[in-house]
Structure 1
Amino acid sequence: MVGKKSGKALRDEGLERTDNNMDLSSWPQIPAINQKNYYTDYLKRDDQNLAFRLQNEEARTKMTKTAKDRDRALAMAKPEATEAEAEVEADGDANMEDADETPAETVGSKVIVIHIGSQNLRIGLSSDALPKTVPMVIARKSKTSESEDHDEPRPKRMKREDGTEEEPENQFGPEWSADFNRMSSELKVRMRQNKRRMLPNSKDMVVNYNRRQRPEIISEHNDPSRVEWTELSNPPPEYIVGQDALRIPDSSKPRYKLYWPIRNGWCNETDYQSKTMLYLDISLILEDAIKNQLGLTSKKDWLQYSCVFVIPDLYDKTYITQVLEMLMREFSFARVCFIQESLAATFGAGFTSACVVDIGAQKTSICCVEEGMCVENSRVNLKMGGQDVTQAFVKMMLHDHFPYSDINLWRRYDFLLAEELKKNLCTMTEANVSPQVFDFHLRVSGEDTQKHTFRAFDEVHLAPMGFFEPTIFDNDHKLDGRRRLIERSVDIYDGQANDPTSSAQSEIMTALAPALPPNGTANAEPQAAPSDVQATPSRPATSNPLGRVQEQEATPHSSVAGSPAPEVAATPQAAGANTPAVAAPTTQPARQAMEHRDDILPVYALDNAILTSIAHAARSDEKKMRDFIGGIMLVGGGSLTSGLNLFLEERLQLLRPGFAKEIMIGVPPRDLDPQVVVWKGASIFGKLSGTNDSWIGKLEYDRLGQRLMAYKCMWAY
């Protein structure tokens, strides 16, 4: 062992210490963490999060104020106790009535409730009984109107090679005519089975009658129901909003073009050239409605108001964050909160659990709600609605020689006329299907009114029948422009798409998916599922969506999402017993790729979509299955078709005979209009100030921004 060297030896070798044991820096030295045993509670408790801290502080402040007010009231009441007691005993009832008649502020009078749809905007105060309804449209100055922009009329007609028009029976192509004739024949068979009396030549009677009809001219001063067209001021405004926009003459000077910011439940990326203009139009429509419909003309007053905004069950996160920015920054509301459509519908109807089927103008959403929460995997969003029925009805009438053969839904007055005819004539009650005579008045700005008489037979029933056979709808251009302006929301950590998804929607998308090319995706095995399903369309997801989910749920370790894609491509039966390790990791990428494909249009038979949604909500629990299947509620403007609930009930009973006694299709109670049920539920939600913790305040939003949504939403955002 080498001995210790002396100081002289160290000095000679240049190794002597000269720092006097002083530290290199006056900054405190932090020792390294023992990696084997360390712990932190950073952001693991609610009291460390700003959103929860502000809630607790607000609750404490409110409790303190209430206690002080109570003590002050008791202190002030003591000196005048004798006189006050005598007066109260003399006319106590009168005083109570006066106190009730002059409240400090009506509950909900400072809360604005907004529900945006593809065709209509419903807006009102939470204290209002019913909302104001405004068309979700804006007209802007343009060189041409929308009818002049399109060379082809809507619905589009086919022409001969020489440019002349085809006969009405051939205007929409042989495939569409074959579908229409098949549906007409099936209706006749069904009506005979139900002992409905039918004339054998009903269709010929309708065609021959319509061919002979000529319009009756009525002068404008003799028309008691003439339309008040929008008169342009001088100088004409840059834009016009709502109902006035729909009443601008197509031949106005200057021309105006209509823009619908929301189409098929999505932001309209087809008609807009920039994302900024799209969101600006949404903002202008909302601003005009708040000022003119609610009477809040000064923006300074908006600082005192809160806002409840209704969003779809399956939403785009980019749209939600942009709306939140708009409401907090541009409109300067004091607080904002969001509620999902299906949950709001159950609030409005007073149900605790239900399967909500919301049929709108261009979108149909289905979702099961259980105990105040939307069942995530049951959410379905279909891109079809009442306007598809309108267009199908017009095509069917033109096919049968409709007297007004020049109808074009790009023209505003024709669009309003077609909507009116659909609402008045379409029915799902087979007893009302017979050759009947109807009439309508065609009113065009600057022209005399024309009264047309026509006959209709099964068109009034087969047009809404498209909900169950959507091939009769025109679905060609619904995906045009998708993702052209607005990028998909992605996770900031892994770059994966993070818009909400559901296994029910994924199953429907898989059933509708076309075959992919061999090199179209890196996951070749899981993507074989869409091709397989497409090759056998009668398979089914359409015939028995419940059985497949029950088979998947039989395995305890199956995917939580219950995705149908692994059933074909990644189950042990398909992959073989020797390759379970390969099948497992391919399940999730296959599901992700299917749910976020933008080339698949979710248009599916309504009855099968409802059963798919319920199957994924119940997850093989028979009690839940019976609860949901016996609590189906129809809401939305598309559900107003006469007899739709009874017809849907019969269809579901045929598909699920084992649950025939439990199946029940309900409508909103208390004679509430199905169109306003969602808004009504949101207005009730806005009044729950004491129990609603989902409000987003200005201070929180300024500091945390859109990250607050993860803490404030009542669902997994």
Structure 2
Amino acid sequence: MVGKKSGKALLREEGLERTDNNMEQSSWPVIQPINQKNYYVDFLKRDEQFLAVRTQQDEARLRMIKNAKDRDRALAHGGKVNEDGDVDMDEDDEEEEDEISAGNRTIVIHPGSENLRIGLASDLLPKTVPMVIARRAQMSEMEEDDGEPAPKRRKLDSGLVEPVPEKRFGEAFAAKFVAASNELKVRMRMNKLKVLPQSRDMVVSYNRRATYETINEHNDTMHIDWTDVSKEPTYVAGNAALRIPDESKPRYKLHWPIRHGWVNEKDYDSIRNLYNDIGLIIEDSVRTELKLEIRTRKDWAQYNCVIVIPDYYERTYVTHLLDLAIQDLGLARVCFIQESLAASFGAGYTTTCVVDIGAQKTSVCCVEDGMVIENSRVNLKFGGHDVTDQFVKMIIYNHFPYADVNLKRRYDWLLANELKKKHSTIVEPDISVQLYDFHLRAPRQDTRKYSFKIYDEVALPSLTLFRPELFDHKGKLDGRRRLISKSYDTYDGKANDPTSTAQGEILKALVPPEPVPEALKPRPNGINGLVRDETDSRRPSIARIQELENGTPTPSGASSPIRRATPPIDNGTPRHTENGTPMPGDDSLLRPGGDDTMMDTTEHHYPTPQQRDPFYLERRDDILPIYPLAHAITSSINHAARGSPAKTKDLYNSLLLVGGASKTAGMGAHMEITLQGILAETGYSREVVVSRPPRELDPEVVTWKGGAVFGRMSKTNDSWVTPFLYERLGERVLASKLMWAW
């Protein structure tokens, strides 16, 4: 009988005995599993972990050290210390020191479609420079086509013949002009104003017989010094570019880097040339207009810069300006501020709705407590340039003595703007037959003095801002997205340009309704014309059919409470009543009392534009935002107030009118009357107050003035971007530096 074996013998025989020396399989430390029920990390949860914030704290600490050293130095020289531990200084000395440190070394730049306003933050007013640059070319812009306003001539078998002024711009323009003129007459008669029955005939009869008087150059006290290009400079920027003769040798062509609030992709071949021209215009303006001794990159490094950008900006535009300011110019610090916020700073308003009527774009935006309300931003593509074009067409229609006016000819463009600014008015008592004169100054020609009569052409172009379908919008979308594509998010691939529900609502109203599919069209029925089969769940409901036919979603309990301020627009133009005025929309959102004012303002009731309008981000570049100005204001305030009666009253009570095109006499009063008519049924008509900038400040420079105020806030402004941060973080630094969500 075999005896029982021990455990060691069994392990040895079976090969299970351990023969190593108890060493671990790896020298790496063993990490115990994390307790999933209770753990905490502070990654990216403290300000010290962000480079932008950390450098800002370092600067504050260095400033404290410097102040302490200055205090000790002052005490050593016999200075006195007050109760707070600071050295006593006169208030005038403190203000002067702050002004020198913050204002004299800060350049404020406000680029626009037609003008660049630039100056030091310590300056009282900025310098206004045309946002244009002239470069050598084969031919000037005047020689490229038929000119503006087109057509200039019509070609017949016998040759080129001047068209009849009444038929030059077509029957459609003539019909619109006559209808607008008759509507103005009706309104003037309702206001008990005298209207002569033969006013237009008097104007046409005088202008047909008018001739000009020649004035020799040595007798003209206001002759123009034209730019000499005999040395053939590579480029000429600013005011000097507009003074280059059209037929100069060599030829120079004007380039406008910004058009209609967008970068001008139509007339440029590369992005680099486009932004290079913007930089050259700024450099030339700093040297010639501001008279600053800046020659090298070290000189630029001594200055800070505040750049005013649109409220409804594009990310690529902002990032290119940042790269231009830091990499190309070499400025010490750069910060950005939005136009509406800058306008509120310049005017001293805390809560306001800013209506900025510029040269080629009009923006509406609400500001509350120093912050732009994002969903209230509206950007429309018309402005003072369209008013000038309409003004020239109307005076030519009435046999203007200088019928050869061409807005692509440089001295004619300057003349048209001068006449518009001098004679435009919306004050109805001032609209009558008037006799005026003007001087035509052209290169290498004697000055001509013309006399002409004018009637309602002084008012109708500016009134067209409230009915922009009368403007000529041809070519405004040409070249859009030809060079610069949309900005997309790196992670989810979605477009990350700023959005606004107010702008989305306007764009949605401008899109024509899509055709209804055949399967969803109603079939005839003997009772009501529709087949109603409630048992078939696959059949669309009556509400759904109406939604597809109208092209707009029907309201429901789950839909957004934001409603349209104006009716849908067909084929890009708003529907109008028989007398031509815009139809009032559904303004029940503004009506005080009832269920509309008890609207729930929780976030899930206000979806993002991506959820509300699926087409919005996809087709926003294919839709030209042309909308009546008064209705755009109501739409902006609707989305800013979000159903709050108190906030709605505050915004209507503080409408701020700025921009060059807003300087027309009577513009504010007419806007008040128009808004009161739209809001007659809502209860807010008495709250409408359109204000001008205080202290008789020029509406053109209010926005720049606010940027200057922002640039002097050296102790509270945390938006500065330095080359150190830009070198390490790139455009990502804007997410930590801007005052709004980037």
TM-score tier after normalising by the smaller chain length: 0.7 to 0.9
- Structure 2 CA distance, aligned partners of 1:326 and 1:545? 46
Q: Which runs of structure 1 show a deviation greater than 4 angstroms over 4 or more consecutive aligned residues?
A: 3-19, 34-37, 95-104, 160-165, 516-519, 524-532, 538-542, 548-555, 557-565
What displacement does 1:292 show? 2.0
Deviates more, 1:298-307 or 1:419-428: 298-307
- Is 1:537 the counterpart of 2:575? The answer is yes
The equivalent residue for 2:718 is 693
Compared CA separation, residues 97 and 674, structure 1 to 2 (3 A): closer
Q: Is the 8 A contact 1:377 1:561 kept in 2?
A: no
The equivalent residue for 1:263 is 259
Q: Is the 8 A contact 2:105 2:303 kept in 1?
A: yes
Q: Is the 8 A contact 2:590 2:645 kept in 1?
A: no
2:654 maps to which of 631, 634, 638: 631
The equivalent residue for 1:462 is 460
Q: Deviations along 1:190-243, whole A, 9 cap, x unmatched?
A: 111111111101111111211122222222222222111001142x11100000
What displacement does 1:616 show? 1.3
Q: Is the 8 A contact 1:503 1:562 kept in 2?
A: no
Please tell me the residue identity of whatever aligns with 2:254.
L
Flag the structure with higher helix content.
1
- Structure 1 CA distance, aligned partners of 2:5 and 2:187? 111
- Is 1:108 the counterpart of 2:103? The answer is yes
The equivalent residue for 1:146 is 141
What displacement does 1:672 show? 0.8
Deviates more, 1:188-197 or 1:18-27: 18-27
The equivalent residue for 2:334 is 336
Which secondary structure does the structure 2 equivalent of 1:465 belong to? Answer: helix
- Structure 2 CA distance, aligned partners of 1:359 and 1:104? 32
Q: Is the 8 A contact 1:563 1:591 kept in 2?
A: no
- Structure 2 CA distance, aligned partners of 1:197 and 1:5? 130
Q: Deviations along 1:450-501, whole A, 9 cap, x unmatched?
A: 2222111111110111101112211111111111111111111111111111
- Structure 1 CA distance, aligned partners of 2:443 and 2:100? 47
The equivalent residue for 1:45 is 46
What displacement does 1:158 show? 7.5
Please tell me the residue identity of whatever aligns with 1:543.
P
Q: Matches of residues 401-416 of structure 1 in structure 2 within 5 Å?
A: 401-416=399-414
Give the gaps of 5 or more residues in structure 1: 82-91, 566-586
Q: Is the 8 A contact 1:553 1:562 kept in 2?
A: no
- Structure 1 CA distance, aligned partners of 2:441 and 2:669? 36
- Is 1:556 the counterpart of 2:597? The answer is no
Q: Matches of residues 286-685 of structure 1 in structure 2 within 5 Å?
A: 286-294=282-290, 295-299=292-296, 300-516=298-514, 533-535=568-570, 537=575, 543-544=584-585, 546-548=587-589, 556=600, 562=606, 588=611, 590-591=613-614, 593=616, 596-657=619-680, 658-685=683-710
1:275 maps to which of 249, 271, 276: 271
Q: Is the 8 A contact 2:99 2:712 kept in 1?
A: no
Please tell me the residue identity of whatever aligns with 2:588.
G
Give the gaps of 5 or more residues in structure 2: 82-87, 518-543, 554-567
Q: Is the 8 A contact 1:427 1:461 kept in 2?
A: yes
2:732 maps to which of 703, 707, 717: 707
- Structure 1 CA distance, aligned partners of 2:5 and 2:194? 121
Q: Is the 8 A contact 2:153 2:161 kept in 1?
A: no
Q: Deviations along 1:500-532, whole A, 9 cap, x unmatched?
A: 11111111111212234679xxxx999987568
Deviates more, 1:157-166 or 1:422-431: 157-166
The equivalent residue for 1:194 is 191
Q: Is the 8 A contact 1:515 1:534 kept in 2?
A: no
- Structure 2 CA distance, aligned partners of 1:8 and 1:342? 91
Tell me how large the CA RMSD over aligned residues is: 3.1
Compared CA separation, residues 20 and 645, structure 1 to 2 (3 A): same
Identity %, equivalent residues? 52
Q: Is the 8 A contact 1:507 1:564 kept in 2?
A: no
Compared CA separation, residues 168 and 303, structure 1 to 2 (3 A): same
2:224 maps to which of 218, 227, 233: 227
What displacement does 1:168 show? 1.4
Q: Is the 8 A contact 1:509 1:595 kept in 2?
A: no
Which secondary structure does the structure 1 equivalent of 2:695 belong to? Answer: coil
Which secondary structure does the structure 1 equivalent of 2:478 belong to? Answer: coil
Please tell me the residue identity of whatever aligns with 1:77.
G
Q: Matches of residues 17-36 of structure 1 in structure 2 within 5 Å?
A: 17-36=18-37
Q: Deviations along 1:328-355, whole A, 9 cap, x unmatched?
A: 1111111111111111111111111111
Q: Matches of residues 55-74 of structure 1 in structure 2 within 5 Å?
A: 55-74=56-75
- Is 1:130 the counterpart of 2:121? The answer is no
What displacement does 1:661 show? 2.7
- Is 1:249 the counterpart of 2:245? The answer is yes
Deviates more, 1:533-542 or 1:212-221: 533-542
What displacement does 1:591 show? 4.6
Q: Deviations along 1:348-379, whole A, 9 cap, x unmatched?
A: 11111111111111011111111111111111
TM-score (norm 1): 0.88
- Structure 2 CA distance, aligned partners of 1:15 and 1:171? 108
Deviates more, 1:634-643 or 1:101-110: 101-110
Compared CA separation, residues 277 and 165, structure 1 to 2 (3 A): same
Compared CA separation, residues 106 and 22, structure 1 to 2 (3 A): closer
Compared CA separation, residues 597 and 107, structure 1 to 2 (3 A): closer
Which secondary structure does the structure 1 equivalent of 2:118 belong to? Answer: strand
TM-score (norm 2): 0.85
What displacement does 1:554 show? 5.3
Q: Paired residues, what number?
A: 677
Q: Is the 8 A contact 2:341 2:370 kept in 1?
A: yes
- Structure 2 CA distance, aligned partners of 1:214 and 1:173? 26
- Structure 2 CA distance, aligned partners of 1:146 and 1:245? 13
- Structure 2 CA distance, aligned partners of 1:104 and 1:553? 48
The equivalent residue for 2:556 is none
Q: Is the 8 A contact 2:516 2:548 kept in 1?
A: no
Q: Is the 8 A contact 1:545 1:608 kept in 2?
A: no
